[in-house]
Amino acid sequence: MTPRKLEIFQTALSLMKSKGYANTTMRDIASAVNMEAASLYNHIASKEDLLAITCFDLADQFEKGILEVNDIYFDAKEKLRMAIEAHTQILTTNLDASYVFIHEWRHLSADKLNEFKHRRNQYENGFIEILKLGENEGVFNEVDEKFVVITILSTLNATIEWYKPNGAFTPKQVANKLSDFILNGLLNIKN
């Protein structure tokens, strides 16, 4: 990844974050990096590559995170906190890419779309494993795992809608807020 290619990716992701994939043209991206649209093709193969490489690179990171958590022996509560922290770390350190990943993946072409969905399913299964462990331990409430895992991931992904890299919270602090919310809920324990 040459510096110029990196610049193109970062610029493209930033544009796609604010305007969406479909509304971001190659000419938009080109003019944002001061070149002609045709010149982009010296660096990337196609517009879809920008999306696909971004999506699958992040998918790699997410998978690596959940696999590491599930490879280690810990109780479910601790595992869930670790998985949440890993997820949050990736989101907050790749804000634009994460935004595109979460909102624009359905613009992938058919075969890549299938692969993407399959890998997302596997990732969800990693969380379901933790939930089941917690239920066996008696630590988590018995839940509809599919419902809960979608809910948890939506909760985590909401981070990209408000997080500012130089704002009040470190990624670790965000992860703790999210873990507390997911584990304890909104109610004050006294009540």
CA distance 143 to 131: 8
187 touches which of DNA, its own copies, none (CB within 5 to 8 A by kind)?
Answer: its own copies
User: From CA 137, how far away is CA 72, in angstroms rounded?
Assistant: 16
Determine, following the binding rule CB under 8 A, whether residue 27 of this chain makes contact with its own copies: no
27 touches DNA (CB under 7 A): yes
> Restricting to residues 41-100, which ones interact with DNA according to CB under 7 A?
41-43, 46-48
| Distances from the Cα of 104 to the Cα of 23, 24, 116, angstroms | 11, 12, 12
| Contact of 48 with 111, CB cutoff 8 Å | no
Please compute Rg for the chain using Cα positions.
Answer: 19
Q: How far is the CB of 186 from its own copies (least distance, A)?
A: 5
Which of its own copies, DNA, none does residue 37 bind to, with CB < 5 to 8 Å depending on kind?
DNA
Token pair recorded at residue 18: 């604010």
Q: Give the residue, chosen from 47, 79, 81, 107, that forms a contact with its own copies under the rule CB under 8 A.
A: 107
Which one, of 28, 6, 5, 31, lies nearest residue 17 by Cα?
28
8 or 59: CB nearest DNA? 8
- Cα 109 to Cα 67: distance, rounded to the nearest angstrom: 27
Q: What is the dihedral of CA 130, 185, 117, 92, to 10 degrees?
A: -100
Taking CB under 8 A as the rule, which mask of x and - marks residues 53-92 in contact with its own copies? ------------------------x--x------------
For residue 138, give the DSSP letter: T
Stretch in the footprint of its own copies (CB under 8 A) among 31-39, 53-61, 84-92, 154-162: 154-162
78 and 128 in contact (C-beta within 8 Å)? no
Residues that bind its own copies (CB under 8 A): 19-23, 77, 80, 103, 106-107, 131, 134, 138-141, 143-144, 146-148, 150-151, 153-155, 157-158, 161-162, 177-178, 181-188, 190-191
Judged by the rule CB under 7 A, the positions of this chain that interact with DNA are 2, 4, 24-28, 30, 34-39, 41-43, 46-48
